[in-house]
Amino acid sequence: MSNLCEVYRKTPLKPHHIIPLDFQSVESVPDSHVWSDCDDYNPTEILNSHLWPESHKFRIQDEHIVPNEHPSIPIIDLTDSNAADYVGQACQTWGIFHVTNHGLPLGLFEDVESEARRLFSLPSQQKMKALRSPGGATGYGSARMAPFFSKSMWHEGFTIMGSSVDHARVLWPNDYKRFCEVMDEYQKQMKALAHKLFLMILKSMGLSEEEQNWALMVQSNESNALQLNSYPPCPDPTRTVGLAPHTDSLLLTILHQSDSDGLEVLQDGAGWVRVHRAPGSLTINVGDLMHVFSNGKFKSVCHRAVVKRTHHRVSIAYFSGLPADSVVGPLSKLGPPRYRALTVEEYLGMKAQHLDRALSLIRI
Ligand X SMILES: C=C1C[C@]23C[C@H]1CC[C@H]2[C@@]12CCC[C@@](C)(C(=O)O1)[C@H]2[C@@H]3C(=O)O
Looking at beta carbons, which residue is closest to Fe ion? Answer: 248
Alpha-helix residue ranges (DSSP H) falling in 122-164: 124-127
Of the pair 248, 346, the CB lying nearest Fe ion is at 248
Residue pair 261/277 in contact (Cβ under 8 Å)? The answer is: yes
DSSP letter (8 states) at residue 20 = P
In sequence order, the 6+-apart residues with CB closer than 8 A to the CB of 222 are 191, 194, 195, 251, 320, 321, 322, 323
By CB under 6 A, what part of segment 307-326 binds ligand AKG? 315, 317
x/- binding map, residues 214-233, to ligand AKG, per CB under 6 A? -------------x-x----
DSSP 339: B
- 3-class SS letters over 191-246: HHHHHHHHHHHHHHCCCCHHHHHHHHHHHHCCCEEEEEEEECCCCCHHHCCCEEEE
Among the listed residues 99, 145, 305, 359, the single contact to ligand X using CB under 6 A: 145
Nearest to 158 by CA among 209, 99, 100, 226: 226
Identify what 328 binds: ligand AKG, Fe ion, ligand X, none; CB under 5 to 8 Å per kind: none
Mapping DSSP to helix (H, G, I), strand (E, B) and coil, where does residue 59 land?
coil
- By DSSP bridging, strand 252-257 and strand 263-267 are unpaired
Chain-centroid distance, C-alpha 131: 21
Using rule CB under 5 A, residue 113 touches Fe ion = no
How many chain residues touch ligand AKG (CB under 6 A)? 12
Residue 245 as a binder of ligand AKG (CB under 6 A): the answer is: no
* Three-state secondary structure call for residue 147: helix
Q: Which of 230, 249, 281, 294 binds ligand X (CB under 6 A)?
A: 249
- Told to check if 258 binds ligand X by CB under 6 A, we report no
Q: Say whether 313 is catalytic.
A: yes
Positions 229 through 248 that interact with Fe ion (CB under 5 A): 248
**Residues 146-205, interacting with ligand X (CB under 6 A):** 159
Q: Applying CB under 6 A, does 248 fall inside the site for ligand AKG?
A: yes
For 364, counting Cβ atoms within 10 Å of its Cβ (0-12 exposed, 13-18 middle, 19+ buried), the class is exposed
Number of residues that bind ligand X (CB under 6 A): 14
73, with CB counted inside 10 A (0-12, 13-18, 19+), is buried
DSSP letter for each residue of 72-130: ---EEETTSTTHHHHHHHHHHHTSEEEEE-----HHHHHHHHHHHHHHHTS-HHHHGGG
Tell me the torsion sign for CA atoms 72, 101, 162, 112. Answer: positive
Measured from the CB of residue 169, what is the shortest distance to Fe ion in angstroms? 28
Quick check: 294 binds ligand X (CB under 6 A)?
Answer: no
Q: Out of 132, 297, 303, 312, which residue is the one contacting ligand AKG (CB under 6 A)?
A: 303
Span from 46-54, 96-104, 168-176, 248-256 in contact with ligand X (CB under 6 A): 248-256
CB 290 within 8 A of CB 251: yes
Show the site string, 251-270: x = touches ligand AKG by CB under 6 A, - = not.
----x-x----xx-------
* Least distance between ligand AKG and beta carbon 61 (Å): 27
- Return the number of the residue (158 or 298) whose C-beta is nearest ligand AKG: 158
| Least spacing, CB of residue 61 vs ligand X, in Å | 31
Ramachandran area for residue 280 (φ above 0: left; ψ -120 to 50: alpha; else beta) = left
Find which of ligand X, ligand AKG, Fe ion, none residue 351 binds, CB within 5 to 8 Å per kind: ligand X
Least distance to ligand AKG, CB of residue 318, Å: 9
Residue 319 in contact with ligand X, rule: CB under 6 A: yes
Query: Rule CB under 6 A: is residue 305 a binding residue for ligand X?
Result: no
**83 vs 316 by CB, closer to ligand X:** 316
Catalytic residue selected from 132, 144, 277, 313 = 313
Nearest to 343 by CA among 223, 226, 241, 262: 223
Q: Which residues bind ligand AKG (CB under 6 A)?
A: 227, 229, 243, 248, 255, 257, 262-263, 303, 305, 315, 317
Q: Which residues bind ligand X (CB under 6 A)?
A: 4, 143-145, 159, 225, 227, 243, 246, 248-250, 319, 351
So which residues are the catalytic ones? 313
